Chains A and B, each alone.
Chain A
Amino acid sequence: MEIFEQLMGGFATAATPINLMWAFLGTALGTAIGVLPGLGPAVTVAMLLPITAQVEPTASLIFFVGIYLGAMYGGSTTSILLNTPGETGTMVTALEGFKMAKSGRAGAALATSAIGSFVAGSIAIVLLTLFAPAVADWAVQLGPPEYFALMLLAFVTVSTVLGKSALRGLTALFLGLALGLVGMDQITGQVRYTGGVLEFMDGIEVVLVAVGLFAVAEAIYNAMYEGRTVSTMNRLTRVRMNRSEWKRSWPAWLRGAGMGFPFGTIPAGGTEIPTFLSYATERKLVAPQHRAEFGSTGAIEGVAGPEAANNAAATGTLVPLLALGIPTSVTTAVLLTALQNYGLNPGPQLFQTSEALVWALIASLYIGNVMLLLLNLPLIRLWVKLLLVPKPMLYAGIMVFATVGVYGMRQSAFDLFLMFAVGMLGVLMRRFDFPIAPVIVGLILGPLAEAQLRNALSIGEGNWSVFIERPLSLGLLLIVLLVLITPRLLAWRRRA
Chain B
Amino acid sequence: MNPMDRSPPSSPPTQPAHSSHSVVLQVLLSLGVLGVAALLAYGATQIPSEAGYAGIGPNFLPWVVAAALLVCGGLLLHQALTGGFQDLDEASGAPRADWHAWAWVSAGVLANASLIEHIGFVLSCALCFTLAVRGLRIAEGKPGGGWMGLLRDAAIGLLLAAPVYWLFAQLLAVNLPSLTATGWI
Contacts and interface: CB of A to CB of B under 8 A. Distances in A.
Interface of B: 19-20, 25-26, 29, 33, 36, 40, 43, 47-48, 50-58, 61-62, 65, 68-69, 72-73, 75-76, 79, 85-94, 97-99, 101-102, 104-106, 108-110, 112-114, 116-117, 121, 124-125, 128-129, 132-133, 135-141, 156-157, 160-161, 164, 168, 172-177
Given A175-B69, A401-B164, A413-B117, A229 B92 contact: yes
A1 interface: no
A195 B112 CA distance: 25
Contacts of B79: 167
A224 B102 contact: yes
A213 to B, nearest CB: 14
A62 interface: no
A403 B116 contact: yes
A223 B50 CA distance: 48
Contacts of B57: 188
* Secondary structure class of chain A's binding surface, majority of residues: helix
A53 B169 CA distance: 12
Interface in A139-192: 163-165, 167-168, 170-171, 174-175, 177-178, 181, 185, 187-188, 190, 192
A494 interface: no
A192 B62 contact: yes
A54 B20 CA distance: 44
B68 A416 contact: no
Given A178-B69, A181-B62, A165 B136 contact: no
A423 B55 CA distance: 38
A453 B177 CA distance: 41
5 tightest CB-CB pairs across the interface, nearest first? A227-B139, A462-B55, A225-B93, A416-B113, A392-B136
Contacts of B61: 177, 181, 446, 450, 453
Contacts of B94: 225-229
Contacts, number: 236
Nearest to A434: B29
Nearest to B131: A396
B164 A174 contact: no
Given A188-B57, A190-B48, A407 B135 contact: no
B105 A223 contact: yes
Contacts of A192: 43, 47, 58, 62
B178 to A, nearest CB: 12
B133 A392 contact: yes
B129 A396 contact: yes
B56 A227 contact: no
A234 to B, nearest CB: 19
A400 B94 CA distance: 26
Interface string A401-416: 1011001100101001
Contact of B113 (A222, A401, A417): A417
Nearest to A424: B106
Interface residues of A, number: 71
Contacts of B76: 167-168, 171
B109 A216 contact: yes
B72 A226 contact: no
B91 A430 contact: yes
Which among A163, A190, A223 has the greatest number of chain B C-beta atoms within 10 A?
A223
A174 B58 contact: no
Given A53-B173, A164-B89, A227-B101, A399 B108 contact: yes
A433 B85 contact: yes
23 contacts: A50-B168, A53-B175, A55-B172, A164-B88, A170-B68, A171-B73, A190-B48, A190-B50, A219-B136, A220-B102, A220-B106, A224-B102, A225-B91, A399-B125, A400-B125, A400-B128, A404-B168, A404-B174, A407-B176, A411-B175, A428-B29, A433-B90, A457-B56
A15 B127 CA distance: 42
Given A228-B141, A403-B116, 15 more contacts: A50-B168, A54-B174, A193-B43, A223-B136, A224-B101, A225-B91, A227-B94, A228-B139, A396-B132, A413-B114, A428-B29, A431-B19, A431-B91, A432-B29, A453-B61
Given A227-B98, A392-B136, A408-B168, A174 B105 contact: no
A190 B58 contact: yes
A392 B149 CA distance: 13
A208 B51 CA distance: 32
Contacts of B51: 462
Interface string A390-402: 0111011101110
Contact of A413 (B20, B101, B113, B139): B113
B63 to A, nearest CB: 11
Contacts of B54: 187, 454-455, 457-458, 462
